[in-house]
Amino acid sequence: MKRSFRRSPMLTAGVVLASLSLALTACGGTTTTESEGGSAAAPAGEGKLQALKDKGSITVAIAGEAPYSYEENGEATGATIALAKKIFGDMGIAEVNTVLVDWNGLIPGLTAGRSDAVSAGMSILPDRCANADFADPEIMYTTTLMTQKGNPKGLTDLDSVKAKIDAGEKIKLAVLAGGIEAGYAKALDLDVQSVPDAQTGMDTVDNGRADAFAMTAISLNFMAEQNPDANVETTDAFVQEIDGVPQIGAGSTVFAQGDDELREAYNEGLAKITESEETYLEVVGEYGFTAENLPPKDLTTEELCKGAPAK
């Protein structure tokens, strides 16, 4: 399985961010379906942080994408859930409950008050920032392609997909509906198969209904490792370019607009974790995250929401 990635100079403090606004594409706790969790969230706005402390629990929405936030033996787990438990726990909110939501329903459910936050490793994009407020960056992303073992089509990145299609070869590409890779594919004018979740994407490649599935490298590498009997492998991780601009992605926890006090309290806790590689990996390292995923200290949510180059 090809799976190597070295930290690029673009992932340092001088990182160049895309100006392209791409389409909308984690103590113990319990996991429920979206409908079951509909009344679990505290009222938004001023006083919410204290209300959650008094209640002793918070409800976060997840999309079931490993290794960010997913269910295992009926319990929520994953890197963003580990961050949530650590940060909210230190804030005095002992219990993190989860509600499982389709990816495209995460922000609508948040704004409708069906969750208190979204803990799903969601990329910070201008279109999303218009509808919700992101915490400071907590995860850096690269992309990979999942192909059948042996990579029969010889694909390396989305540019190779486009080149082969332009040369007359038939390539079937799958992307997560609403995911950032769907935006990349649209910008490259690629026809795609949209899948509702990562498992479906892997199955689509495994059974030959797609030649490749594009998603974040950490997710697809994790899935390939957890499913050694599947007829899949992953390419080397890459940073996609659109019109010559590297599409550097970063994700974080999402809060409803107006929940400024709660978000800032979260940011204070997050800063203690992202202070160093050691403190970061103590929380997320067991889920396959490495120093490559630690955001540069000068990368801000404000810049990502504007789609502006980092300074």
Q: Which helix (H) or strand (E) holds 249?
A: strand 249-255
| 175 and 213 within one domain | yes
* 61 compared with 1, residue with greater pLDDT: 61
Q: Does some domain include residue 305?
A: no
Q: Does some domain include residue 16?
A: no
| 266 and 235 within one domain | no
| 95 and 233 within one domain | no
Q: Using CA atoms, how far apart are residues 29 and 96, in angstroms rounded to an integer? A: 5
pLDDT band at 46 (very low <50, low <70, confident <90, very high): confident
Q: What is the pLDDT of residue 216?
A: 92
| 126 and 73 within one domain | yes
The DSSP call for residue 74 is T
* Helix 277-284 / helix 79-90 crossing angle, nearest 10 deg: 110
Q: Does some domain include residue 39?
A: no
Residue 154 burial (C-beta neighbours within 10 Å; 0-12, 13-18, 19+): exposed
Q: What is the mean pLDDT of residues 46-62?
A: 95
Q: Using CA atoms, how far apart are residues 116 and 261, in angstroms rounded to an integer? A: 13
Q: What is the pLDDT of residue 12?
A: 34
Q: What is the mean pLDDT of residues 17-26?
A: 35
| 157 and 111 within one domain | no
| 233 and 90 within one domain | no
| 236 and 152 within one domain | yes
Instruction: Count the domains in the chain.
Output: 2
Q: What is the pLDDT of residue 75?
A: 93
The pLDDT tens digits of the residues spanning 220-265 come to 999 999 999 999 999 999 999 999 988 878 999 999 999 999 999 9
| 223 and 92 within one domain | no
Structural domain for 193, as ranges: 143-246
* Rounded percentage of the chain residues whose pLDDT exceeds 90: 75
Q: Does some domain include residue 276?
A: yes
Q: Does some domain include residue 7?
A: no
Domain with residue 201: its CATH number is 3.40.190.10
5: pLDDT strictly greater than 60 = no
The pLDDT tens digits of the residues spanning 191-228 come to 999 999 999 999 999 999 999 999 999 999 999 999 99
| 199 and 128 within one domain | no
Q: What is the pLDDT of residue 43?
A: 72
| 239 and 148 within one domain | yes
The per-residue pLDDT of the chain, averaged, comes to 87
